[in-house]
A and B are shown apart, each in its own frame.
Chain A
Amino acid sequence: MGSLNEPIRRPLTLDVSGLPSVAFGHRNTTWLANVFYMAIEGMMFALMFAAYFYLRTRSTDWPPGHLPPGLRYGALNALVFVVSTIPAWIVKRRAPDCNRRAVRNGLLVLALFALAATVLRVFEFSALNCRWTDDAYSSTVWVLIGIHSGHLVTELIETLVLLAISFTPKMEGTRLADAAINSDYWYFVVVTGLMVDFLIYGTTRFL
């Protein structure tokens, strides 16, 4: 292990040279960081949801003096979200197989869905039937959908960056693992989006 000059100090050894140098799935440390990140953002959503229901208890009328947010674009976007899980799943499935082409195509389709969702989101904002300065209800609705839009846009950009990398020779082990983790985060965006939709479009109609 060392030169002859080293003192005779021979502990036993544990040889790890045969271990893989990249991991997919839950063994990957970036996966763990992503889980923590989803916990943080999930907690923020949970608190915003709690704030929404708390403000509801302080009001007799809900929505107070507004029509509920218009359904059309929200429903369309919910559909886009649900279908978008398919390319996300494909990326996740193909990445460990080192199928660079499938991953690249999956990222491309996913990016298109994310773009579509973003565009639809703009229309959603205009169909909310209220302005954030109107009252606490309006503020909450705008901020709920606003925070989620932040995640959506971040995800869109991240998917585009990964897509760009997938066209370069740098798309090797760790980057493929990153693409799979990106799909996990996309699922998070979809789930939180559907929950926000439920609150904004659903509970305003039956609460």
Chain B
Amino acid sequence: MTRTAHDWPTLLCDNARSGGQGPQPWRAPGRSRWQTNVEGRVRGSPVLQSELLYVPSQAGFLNAINIHSGRLQWRFKAPAAIHSTPSLSSGRVLVGCSDGKVIAIDAVTGAKSWETATGDEVWTSPVVQNEAVFFGSADGAMYAVQVETGALKWKKALGGRIYSTAHVAEKHVHVGSGDGNIYALDSDTGDVLWKTATGNGIDCSPALANGTLLIGSQDFFFYALDAGSGSIRWKYEAELGITSSPAISGDLVIFGCKAGTLQALDVRTGRVIWKIRIGEAITSPPVVSGTVIWLQAGITFAINLSDGKVLWRAGLGDSLHSAPVVTNQAVYIAGREGEVYALE
């Protein structure tokens, strides 16, 4: 299946956490194309491919919703809750489950293709790169499996529970761990290339920009590391822990903090370009789309990328971890109580 311009196959659209949309004029959503509800709460973010929006729920359903009508095309019942953001690859939806399994589901029919087991719950999003799927588990290990079959390529035990979705580059896998370390692994073997300690556990997912690995920690610091060596280039002190995974736009890295601030820093220096207080604890990742940042934090915000000014807000889409899917045609939002919106 070929990816089209509006597809959104993984967390924050792509492995670069870019949001995927190029420059475009800002238009505030004018109406709801449809609104529906899925069964159970939603923690993970939706993903989109072709005509279907895939929404995971803690009731254990992966819901495939037609983006034109809002009708349920199919839903797959997993054996346990789904907290994970799905990923799309080769005609399959990949998703982690609280029973420790990662399941591959046919993206068109909803039939299970394969499953693979870990020793504890998988809340992270599976990341696909070069025919392999990479994911961490609360059992403390990173896994790489074959995308076609789910067969294990390698497993690497790290020092703490993994709730950080990995960033996967051509040769490296970067991930944070509950033991407070940021790890770089060899993507072919799982060997640890380097690790860098922070002052507390990590459940934030890293991003990579121009050789700089960017990630927050529950020690209240946001770190910029040399992706090759793990040495700290700079770190920025926030007011509370950082769960919100960073989004990248050019030389800007944007992330939220649990004290309710959203900040944009210069990737090269860590200098604060702007910082705003939204009010609620921010744990969801911001999404950059063109010149606008979308964020679900109590309500849904659209924020000007250049200065942090709030452009639009709507009292919907409360979320702890879910992030919008943004296309040229619509913004798709899944809220904590299972409500799903297509705004256009």
Q: Tell me whether A and B are bound partners.
A: no
**B-binding residues in A (CB < 8 A):** none
**A-binding residues in B (CB < 8 A):** none
